[in-house]
Amino acid sequence: MAKFAANLTMMFNEVDFLDRFEAAAKAGFEGVEYLFPYDYDRDELADKLRHYRVSQVLHNLPAGDWAGGERGIGCHPDRVGEFQDGVGSAIEYAKALSCPLVNCLAGVAPEGADPAVLRETFVSNLRFAAAELDAAGIRLVTEPINTIDIPGFFLTGTAQARSIIDDVGSANLGVQYDVYHMQIMEGDLARTIEANLEAIWHIQLADNPGRNEPGTGEINYPYLFDHLDKIGYEGWIGCEYRPLTDTVAGLGWASRYLG
C-alpha cells in the first residue's frame, strides 16, 4: 500500500514552518516533503525529523530564484555551473536528512531559446545529477508540470519525461508524477500511471481545479488510490495541495489512509 507524506510547503500554513513537522506527525503522517530545505540549518531539520519520528521523503534541487519567479534551471544553457553546484548542496542536505529522493525541476524555457539546445542541456544536467546522486546513494526524479500554472515550463508530460530519461541513459533517474499537473496536461491518469509504473518513483496529489485536497474537484481519488494498490505502487504519495480551509479540517479524505 502506498504511504502518504505531508507537503510542508503547502500544508499546515497556519503554523511556522519548523512547527509543521509536529503538526504533520500529530495528523498521522509518517513522511514529509517540501520544496527546499536550503534556508534552514541541516541539523535543526534533522532534529525535527527524529523528534517527531517522520521521514523526509523528498526535496527539490536548488531551482534558481524562486521568490523572483524562477521555477528551475535544469534546461538553462547559461546556468550549468550553478546547476552543478546545486547538486552538491542537495546531496549535503539529503544525506543529513536521510532523504532518499531528490527532484529536478526543468524550469521555464528561456524566451527565444532553441528547444533542441534546451533539451540537450537538460539531458546533460540530468546525467550529471543522476551520477552524482547515485554515488551518494540518493535517487533522482524529474517532474512534468502543467503550463497553465507555469506558462512555458519545459517538461510537460509523461511521454516527454520518459523520452528524456531514455536519452540520459541512467538507471538512477525516474519520474515524479504529479496527479494534479498531469490531469491538466494529459488526463487518463489510471492507465498512464499503470503504463509507466516502473518509472514512477514518487507521486504527488491535489484535486483539480483549485489545487485543493482530494474530494474538492473532478478527480476520483478513492478510485485512483484503490488502483494504485491494485497495480502495486508502493512508493510515497506527497500531498502537495492547498487546503481549502484549515489543513486538519480538510483531512477527512485521508482518514482511511493515515495512522
- Which are the catalytic amino acids? 143, 240
Concatenate the DSSP letters of all residues of 226-250 into one string: HHHHHHT--SEEEE----SS-TTTT
Residue written as cell 512534468?
Answer: 144
- Segments of the chain assigned E as strands: 3-7, 31-33, 55-60, 101-104, 139-142, 173-178, 200-205, 236-239
Compute the distance between CA of residue 241 and CA of residue 224 in angstroms, rounded to an integer: 16
CB 90 within 8 A of CB 66: no
CB 184 within 8 A of CB 210: no
Q: Among the residues of 136-212, which ranges form H helices? A: 158-168, 179-185, 189-195
Compute the distance between CA of residue 101 and CA of residue 175 in angstroms, rounded to an integer: 11
